[in-house]
Structure 1
Amino acid sequence: MTAELNEEFPIFLGSEIDQADPKQAMFHVLPVPYEKSVSYGGGTANGPSTILNASWQLEKWDGKSNPCDLGIYTCPPVDCSVSSQQVIDNIANATAEIIRNGGIPVVLGGEHTVTYGVIKGLKDAGIDDFGIVQIDAHADLRHAYEGDILSHASVMKRAVDMGIPLYQLGIRAFCEEEMQVREEFGVYYQDADELVPNNINSITLPDDFPQKVFFTVDIDGMDPSVFPSTGTPVPGGLSWYQTLNLFESVAKQREIIGFDVMEFAPIEGFHAYDFAASMLTYKLMGITARSRQ
């Protein structure tokens, strides 16, 4: 063991590696245990610490490479004890600091509202021309949900309102308002009813889609048979390998400037899902690293 597992938020893969210098690490893991607007099952606030703890069971070799050789720095968890707007600002500040250090943010949520703070942070750090690719069961394009514009159901509306191009994958639960927003803002999409029955494992981004991409992964984008450990599961989702392949197809076409893993709600006693969420995070690091070689 190269680090001690004695805190709620241990360093990622701490059984195998030491904490890297933040100015030299490629990947900066940012835990954000924020949960306020969840509308069905809870528990996403426990996602980041659970993923970090489970990462101690990972191998350095991800099946194709050792992503950790490029350096992993685990940031202190974002303070989520303050107001919603202050949490967003805290996330933005932490994300901007990662970018200024030359790192790639790997953000662990928490509810999907967290992604709004990450997007603000990317912009605050001077990255203006980027797009978002989203894996999710839900479109998250409502202007507000239950009167809250900082809701997990509104996070992608906040993004398109900022003029950020969006490509959605695996959506299978949305309302008429969200369909209208898609049309109004020119949102690209391939929904689950196309991707899953046809076993589509890659997409081709439009020529005018930005060269820099932030990729957001909501755990409920995957099928509940893979991840029941989420607050809003929806049947008919993506498989494990389909998710990885779709991410890789984007990484081969564009520069991944960061990604997040949102809405993981651990189920007590079911360690398989904890490990899977941690492995997913590390696999996405590996795909991102190899795409830059």
Structure 2
Amino acid sequence: MLSENDYPIFLGSEIEQPKPEEAFFHIIPIPYEETVSYGGGTGRGPAAILAASWQLETFDNFSSPCEMGIYTRSPVSVSGSAEQVMGHIAAATQAVRALGKMPVGIGGEHSVTWGLIQGLLDAGETDFGVVQIDAHADLRDRYEGHKHSHASVMRLVVEAGVPLFQLGIRAYCEEEMQARRDYQVGYLDAHQLVPNQVQEFQLPEHFPGKVFFTLDVDGLDPSVFPATGTPVPGGLGWYQTLNLFESVARQREIIGFDLLEFAPIKGFHAYDFAAAQLLYRLMGIIQRNRPQAPTHGKVDNS
């Protein structure tokens, strides 16, 4: 089954596309790639993830997240200036929140997170924080002349007054270390998490009760996830990533998340599948940690 713009719907081999108001998870494909600074291909990420999702099982070994309903929206328009594109993303995010549903962005380069955050702010969400898994701090004021760069997206977030906590970072400059101090950014870097195999942690007591979680696939080690434009050794493992995400889900209400910087490698479909499975596993963690989660969506087992 295809969406309105010929993109596959998520898990379309197993479920029908529900009505928007009946689905809890709203996937927003964002094929934006403008400021990448090393390897490319993130613009092809959303379509690859959606296509690979047709190979998933509806049961994720613990539950069936699709029972909450998964609606695949049409891809966001990525034409125009960076500011215009962020406006398109914000409008899509705001529309999802207006339905009382959860936005799930799939990219695309990491700059798109700002559009999702802007959409939450426009929807009236004012008391929330961002938790980030990444190899890079993304706290530069601008990079290669771009304010809306994948390397400066978290600077926009903290400048907007949104609290930030970072996990797995292992590539940053002195400017970004100063930004951490200036904006009181919390963090557990890779050298703290990976050698010690940390699987859970406590957010600061003052951190907001609602969280938007942004996951850059280069936060995982390249031995696990090489399909990204800016790989850095020394990253998180597969289960460690899931466990850290669940640690947040147990402490706070996750109101949205994204999965970004996936750059498909031609001929290596294992990574397409891994990205799709990671996305679905994150949905499952949210499902299992939400009290009285709604169940919608029709499963087609024929």
2:288 match:
290
| Cα distance in 2 between the residues matched to 1:8 and 1:141 | 36
Instruction: Please tell me the residue identity of whatever aligns with 1:288.
Output: I
| Cα distance in 1 between the residues matched to 2:56 and 2:3 | 14
- Counterparts of 1:10-21 in structure 2, within 5 Å, are 10-21=8-19
Count of aligned residue pairs for this structure pair: 291
| Cα distance in 1 between the residues matched to 2:54 and 2:179 | 42
1:147 match:
145
Work out whether 1:203 is the aligned partner of 2:201: yes
1:135 match:
133
Tell me the SS of whatever aligns to 1:260: strand
| Cα distance in 1 between the residues matched to 2:201 and 2:123 | 29
2:154 match:
156
- The offset of 1:4, in angstroms, is 5.5
Identity value in percent: 63
| Cα distance in 1 between the residues matched to 2:249 and 2:206 | 16
Task: String of CA shifts for 1:170-223, please: whole Å, max 9, x gaps.
Answer: 000000000000001100000000100000011101110000000000000000
State the 4+ residue runs in structure 1 displaced beyond 3 angstroms. Answer: 4-8
2:212 match:
214
Instruction: Please tell me the residue identity of whatever aligns with 1:182.
Output: R
| Cα distance in 2 between the residues matched to 1:6 and 1:238 | 36
Instruction: Please tell me the residue identity of whatever aligns with 1:95.
Output: T
Match of 1:94 among 87, 92, 96: 92
Unaligned runs of 5+ in 1: none
- The offset of 1:110, in angstroms, is 0.3
- The offset of 1:82, in angstroms, is 1.7
- The offset of 1:104, in angstroms, is 0.5
Tell me the SS of whatever aligns to 2:162: coil
TM-score by length of 2: 0.95
Tell me the SS of whatever aligns to 2:97: helix
- The offset of 1:48, in angstroms, is 0.3
TM-score by length of 1: 0.98
Q: 1:6 to 1:132 in 2, by over 3 A?
A: closer
Tell me the SS of whatever aligns to 2:121: helix
CA contact (8 A) 1:8 1:49 kept: no
Instruction: Please tell me the residue identity of whatever aligns with 2:88.
Output: N
- The offset of 1:24, in angstroms, is 1.7
Tell me the SS of whatever aligns to 1:237: coil
Tell me the SS of whatever aligns to 1:134: strand
- Counterparts of 1:1-293 in structure 2, within 5 Å, are 3=1, 8-293=6-291
Q: CA RMSD in A?
A: 1.1
